[in-house]
């Protein structure tokens, strides 16, 4: 009897080639799909913010001091719950969450009567109809606000540098101001209609 008869060699299992990285990535299916979806959503949000895609609202900012600078104090101040109660969902999204309405969606864009545009959050008069002009952007636009009616701060969201405009009484977000407006100021206060109400001038 041979020693090999007592201890026969074990059969060799074929060595499988290493799984390619591409195949391994594909094997995590749902997780990979979720990652791709999140990346795509982030890219879409950036395109929206840059004005490449129309949208109803901009995503809310995380900081609570988004309405004006951190040092500003406003005459009218409510809790978030109270603001939600006082405003419509659309007004809240814009005034308190710095949203943006769709262009040409506000009736105030086509408002041509004499009167005053006021803050929808606290009723402070903001703009006179005498300074309104058609900017062909789809949002109510003015070349100057009423005296001390608005405040501004530097807005660097989405990798852009803009000048945000808010109500000086309650801090509600109104829109942005740009330097491509008509004379005499050369400014364009591009406002959200939902952030304002209109009060016709008495006859």
Q: Is 54 helix (H, G, I), strand (E, B) or coil?
A: coil
CA distance 191 to 200: 18
CA distance 7 to 171: 87
Annotated active-site residue 167? The verdict is no
Q: What is the DSSP string of 120-134?
A: TTT--EEEEGGGEE-
CA distance 146 to 116: 10
CA distance 168 to 68: 8
> Among residues 119, 122, 167, 190, which one is catalytic?
190
Indicate the length of the chain as a whole number. 203
CA distance 200 to 94: 23
CA distance 200 to 128: 10
Give the residue numbers annotated as catalytic, written as ranges: 190
């Amino acid at each position: 009897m041979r020693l090999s008869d007592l201890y026969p060699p074990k059969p060799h299992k074929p060595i499988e080639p290493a799984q390619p990285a591409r195949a391994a990535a594909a094997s995590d299916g749902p997780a990979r799909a979720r990652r791709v979806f999140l990346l795509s959503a982030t890219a879409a949000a950036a395109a929206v913010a840059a004005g490449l895609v129309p949208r109803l609202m901009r995503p809310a900012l995380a900081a609570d001091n988004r309405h004006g600078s951190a040092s500003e104090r406003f005459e009218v101040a409510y809790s978030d719950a109270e603001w939600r109660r006082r405003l419509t969902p659309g007004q809240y999204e814009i005034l308190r969450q710095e949203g943006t309405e769709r262009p040409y969606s506000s009736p105030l864009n086509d408002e041509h009567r004499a009167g005053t545009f006021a803050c929808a959050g606290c009723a402070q008069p903001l703009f006179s109809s005498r300074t309104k002009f058609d900017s062909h952007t789809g949002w109510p636009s003015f070349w100057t606000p009423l005296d001390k009616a608005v405040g501004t701060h530097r807005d660097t969201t989405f990798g852009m540098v803009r000048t945000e405009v808010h109500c000086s009484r309650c801090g509600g977000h109104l829109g942005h101001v740009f330097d491509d407006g008509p004379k005499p100021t050369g400014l364009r206060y591009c406002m959200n209609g939902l952030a304002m109400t209109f009060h016709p001038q008495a006859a």
